[in-house]
Amino acid sequence: MSTAVVHDHESGHESHLQHHFADSEQQAETSKLGMWLFLATEILLFGGLFVGFGISQIKYPEAFLAAHEHLQKPLGFLNTVVLLISSWTMVMGVWSARNNKQKALQMFLLLTIACALIFLGVKYFEYSHKFEDGLLPGRFYTHSPMSDHQFVFFSFYFMMTGLHGFHILGGIGVLTWIYLRARRGEFSSAYYTPVDLVGLYWHLVDMIWIYLFPLLYLIK
């Protein structure tokens, strides 16, 4: 049995290879599979909220219709566009890393972070509006009587966008970390797994918003 561990340590980037992997391709594929599994758990985590939302909407269709009128469609639309663009800048970041374009990689990562911040800014604006109008989750809801069940819509609105917002925040964290590593020149076509993984995560966050937007803002 050839001991596959020691080979080509001299080629520089192999220093990222952990001792229990045979080669960097095995390591990269393993990391990716791990990430995909993590994304599946994220889908199911959000999924519980989607199921709860769906069941509640079936239960109170009029209340949900009335409640969603309080959301600002243009802002939701703006945020959708911002996130879609950030997804593109992210995939271009991965593309730059894969093609050894160091400067472009840093630029695209910064752009992605900027989009994320814009998204949160718009969200903050929307939230503060809701807070003023008493459109709050559960027992804090004061806009109309509790008995019309509009508060259930806002419970879900805040839980879903809130959980999503936390994921955006987390995304900004890991993107910044990747950006700092990219500035140190750690990534190249030979090793860019972290960029790839963060990209996958970021696209998933985008994907969830793709469903949240029509469900919350556009229901009829």
Partner 1 sequence: MANAVAYEQKHSPNYLNATRGIWSWMTTVDHKRIGVMYLVSVLTAFLAGGIFALLIRIEHLTPKRTIMGAETYNQMFTLHGAIMVFLFIIPSVPAALGNFVMPLMLGAKDVAFPRLNLMSYYLWVCGACLALGAIVTGGVDTGWTFYTPYSTTTTGSVTWMTMGAFVLGFSSIFTGLNFIATVHKLRAPGMGWFQMPLFVWGIYATAIIQVLATPVLGITLLLLVMERAFKIGIFDPAIGGDPVLFQHFFWFYSHPAVYIMILPGMAIISEVIPTFSRKTIFGYRMIAFSSIAIALIGFLVWGHHMFVSGQSELATTIFSALTFLVAIPSAIKVFNWVATMYKGNISLEAPMLYAISFLLLFAIGGLTGIYLGALSTDVHLHDTYFVVAHFHYVMMGGTVIAFIAGLHYWWPKITGHMYSETWARWGCALVFIGFNMTFFTQFILGSRGMPRRYYNYLDQFQPLHAFSSYGSFILGGGLFLTAIYLLASLRGPMNAPVNPWGGTTLEWQTQSPPIEHNFEGQPHATTPYDYREVVETHV
Partner 2 sequence: MSEHTASNPKKDAISYAVTLTVLLVLTFITVGASYLDFGSGNVVIALVIATIKASLVGLIFMHLLHEKPIDGLVLVAGFLLLSLFLGFCFIDIDSRGDLQPANVKAPVLVPAKPAAPAAKHQ
User: Binding pattern to partner 2, positions 44-83, x when CB under 8 A?
Assistant: x--xx-xx--xx--xx--xx--x------x---x--xx--
Query: On the CB side of 12, how many CA atoms lie within 13 Å of its CA?
Result: 7
* Least CB distance to partner 2 at residue 183 (A): 22
Q: Which is nearer to partner 2, 128 or 138 (CB)?
A: 138
Burial class (CB in 10 A: 0-12, 13-18, 19+), 95: middle
Q: Which residue has the tokens 């609105």?
A: 157
* Residue with Cβ nearer partner 2 (95 or 117): 95
Residue 142 near residue 136, CB atoms below 8 Å: yes
The residues that bridge with 191 in the sheet, in sequence order, are 188
Separation in Å, CA 56 to CA 44, 101, 119, 190: 18, 49, 27, 49
CA 120 vs. chain centroid, Å, equals 12
Position 19 contacts partner 1 (CB under 8 A): yes
- By CB under 8 A, name the one of 108, 119, 127, 151 that touches partner 1: 151
Q: Look at the block and give the residue holding tokens 């109170």.
A: 60
Expressed in percent and rounded to 5, the helix, strand and coil fractions of the chain are 75, 0, 20
Closest distance between partner 2 and the C-beta of residue 61, in Å?
9
Residue pair 135/154 in contact (Cβ under 8 Å)? The answer is: yes
| Binding residue (CB under 8 A) for partner 2 from 16, 88, 118, 129 | 88
Any contact of residue 1 with partner 2 (CB under 8 A)? no
CA distance 118 to 217: 19
Residue from the set 68, 149, 164, 167 that interacts with partner 1 by CB under 8 A: 149
| Residue 184 site contact among partner 2, partner 1, none (CB < 5 to 8 Å, cut-off depends on kind) | none
Residue 8, sorted as left (phi over 0), alpha (psi -120 to 50) or beta, turns out to be: left
Selected from 14, 16, 30, 181, the binder of partner 1 by CB under 8 A is 30
Q: What is the DSSP letter of 18?
A: -
Q: Which residues bind partner 1 (CB under 8 A)?
A: 1-4, 18-21, 26, 29-31, 33-34, 37-38, 40-49, 51-52, 55-56, 59-60, 137-140, 146, 149, 151-152, 155-156, 159
Q: Which residues bind partner 2 (CB under 8 A)?
A: 25, 28-29, 32-33, 36-37, 39-41, 43-44, 47-48, 50-51, 54-55, 58-59, 62-63, 66, 73, 77, 80-81, 84-85, 87-88, 90-92, 95, 98-99, 144-148, 150, 189, 199-200, 203-204, 206-207, 210-211, 213-215, 217-220
